[in-house]
Chain A
Amino acid sequence: MSWGTISEGLAEAVRLILSLDPTVISITLRSIETAGFATFLASIIGIPLSLVLTMKNFPGRGTIKFLFNSLVGIPTVTLGLVLYMLLSRTGPLGHLKLLYSVQGMAIGQAMLILPISVTFIVSALESKMGEVNDLARTLGASETQVALAVLRESFNGVSLAIISSFNRAFAELGIATMLGANITDLTRVLTTAIALETNKGQFGLSFALSLILISVVLLMNYLIRVLQGGET
């Protein structure tokens, strides 16, 4: 690929973004919607689960933590393949009609990022547990109030875990491809579109979408700094 092709692609990318190209915008919004929904699902399951794993001592706790730690590195295509088989029309969960839908992709991504969320949230909670636990308890907190205090004190670590999970979902390709299949105006998201357009030689659109992808990730990381009240 010559430098000419690259610079033409970049120029086209800038034009597409500045002109607020409707295709680019709809793909971007769909990506945010999918990853956002996935992050929401992973958080409403992941936060309480992490609190239980941190605060409660029960048999099998270590095993569950080990399992989640191991699943952090699960290949997206493998998870995509398993979910594809489950959700395909003839599969055991085919009747849910989730294949080739934003919801289907979001559920797949939620399963992908749940281990990341849980692993990092547990580690954030555990780092504050020592100082907050005895303090909140001796001041009269119930189990639930202690959990809330630990969660509040771990806000920075927990929000970092959630944003990282969002970024992982936002930037992954395997599940979006397997469960979404890059259908125009239905399941086409940034990563699947980039892969397709690059194959078609449409570097301008690929570059534009990649720039947006990176910008959103950077923006999320910036937001978290602001949220945590750190230096920006």
Chain B
Amino acid sequence: MSIFEIKGLVREYDGEPALKNININIGAQALGVIGKSGSGKTTLLKILAGLLTPSQGKLSFNGTEVTPAVLLDLRRRVTMVFQTPQFLNGTVRTNLSYGLRIRGVSDEEIKRKVSDALDLVSLEAYGERYARNLSGGEQQRVALARALILDPEVLLLDEPTSNLDPVNVSLITDILVQESEKRLVVISTHDLDQVKRIAKHVIFLEEGIITEQGDPYKLDSVNRFTENVYTGISNVEKGVSQVHVGDIIIRTSSPLTGRISLHVRPQDIIISKGWIETSARNQFRGLITGVNERDGIVMIDIDVGEVFTVQITRRSFNEMSLKLGEPVNISFKASSVLPL
């Protein structure tokens, strides 16, 4: 049986639709929600969490229609972890205890559970630390522990690891892989490695509509994105993010730090025979490793340390007389590098 059933779901903000006609049944298997910023991921998760109500349509949880009367019960069984963790004023312990205290759990049991939860996120000694003073990664681990301590039937996570360093990303991802065995996990993320590790089923949201869904390894939109998708560590210098991907540095105009995934559309990359003077902030040199033609369009793979797929027309391809194994330069603007 489905845990969530969503029929004809619409959510508007001041008349502007954020979600348009969402229909999906969510079973027990971990669900990944992918899509660009503003595609409706957060809105969808907040509706599942009982924090937002649909403008139209029906949402059922465990076979019961979600109405205002059952919202509290839903929220006691479904817990959400937000992209930017928020904390109650006080220590890590105060924060971890809160959900248990309002459920009337005894002090002794709270103490035991807090200690277990801190172990789970490898923050054993952090109980008395002031939550708001922790680093970003530690805060998100506390937020995760604060949700898991309640042993929810459903754990919702809204881009839980965006802007975190790789150590924290892998620590949190490992925990989520384990947790997805015990409860329904719904995660929205920009990290394609993460979604493939955690989710068994993925929906792809575009402007409030599910445009594709399926196995994360087979999904076209994931594969479409896996062409020219790079994951690396970003530092912001002089307003430009420098993303270290393997041995190369990709510059993007999005001011992001931490571990991020980037996408460069094949049609946004220019090929030249040698170094060119250009305003494009990214230029690399490498060898052509693949040439594929389809419908008058040529897809060329160029290995510059990372493989870039470049789309050019048949005509350009002929005029430049490009050949496999030949060295070429590629260039693209920092603003063509899209964060996922």
1/0 per position for A135-151, CB-CB distance to B under 8 A? 11111111001000100
CB–CB B50/A139 < 8 A: no
> Interface with A: B73-81, B160-168, B215-223, which one?
B73-81
Q: How far is the CA of A139 from the CA of B78 in the complex (A)?
A: 8
- Distance in angstroms from B83 CB to nearest chain A CB is 12
Q: Which residue of B46, B76, B88 contacts A140 across the interface (Cβ within 8 Å)?
A: B76
Question: What is the number of residues of chain A that contact chain B, defined by CB distance less than 8 Å?
Answer: 16
Q: How far is the CA of A191 from the CA of B103 in the complex (A)?
A: 51
Which of B49, B75, B102, B146 lies at the interface centre, i.e. has the most chain A CB atoms within 10 A of its CB? Answer: B102
A contact face: mostly helix, strand, loop, or mixed = helix
CB–CB B72/A142 < 8 A: yes
Question: What is the number of residues of chain B that contact chain A, defined by CB distance less than 8 Å?
Answer: 22
CB–CB A139/B146 < 8 A: yes
B82 on interface, CB distance cutoff 8 Å: yes
CB–CB B102/A134 < 8 A: no
* 99-114 of chain B: CB within 8 A of chain A: 99, 102-103
CB–CB B86/A140 < 8 A: no
- Distance in angstroms from A141 CB to nearest chain B CB is 5
Q: How far is the CA of A14 from the CA of B93 in the complex (A)?
A: 51
CB–CB B51/A138 < 8 A: yes
Q: Which residue of B lies closest to A155 (CB)?
A: B89
Q: Which residue of A132, A138, A153 contacts B75 across the interface (Cβ within 8 Å)?
A: A138
CB–CB B102/A138 < 8 A: no
CB–CB B51/A134 < 8 A: yes
CB–CB A137/B88 < 8 A: no
Q: How far is the CA of A142 from the CA of B76 in the complex (A)?
A: 9
B98 on interface, CB distance cutoff 8 Å: yes
1/0 per position for A45-75, CB-CB distance to B under 8 A? 0000000000000000000000000000000
Q: Which residue of B lies closest to A144 (CB)?
A: B102
Residues of B with C-beta under 8 A to A131: 86
CB–CB B79/A138 < 8 A: yes
Which of B88, B103, B147 lies at the interface centre, i.e. has the most chain A CB atoms within 10 A of its CB? Answer: B88
- Distance in angstroms from B159 CB to nearest chain A CB is 15
Binding site for B on A (CB under 8 A): 131-132, 134-142, 145, 149, 152-153, 155
Given contacts A136-B88, A136-B98, A142-B102, 11 further A-B contacts (CB under 8 A): A134-B46, A134-B82, A134-B86, A135-B86, A135-B88, A137-B75, A138-B79, A139-B146, A140-B75, A153-B88, A153-B89
Q: List 20 A-B contacts (CB under 8 A).
A: A131-B86, A134-B46, A134-B80, A134-B86, A135-B88, A136-B88, A138-B50, A138-B75, A138-B80, A139-B99, A139-B102, A139-B146, A139-B150, A140-B76, A140-B99, A140-B102, A140-B103, A140-B150, A149-B88, A152-B89
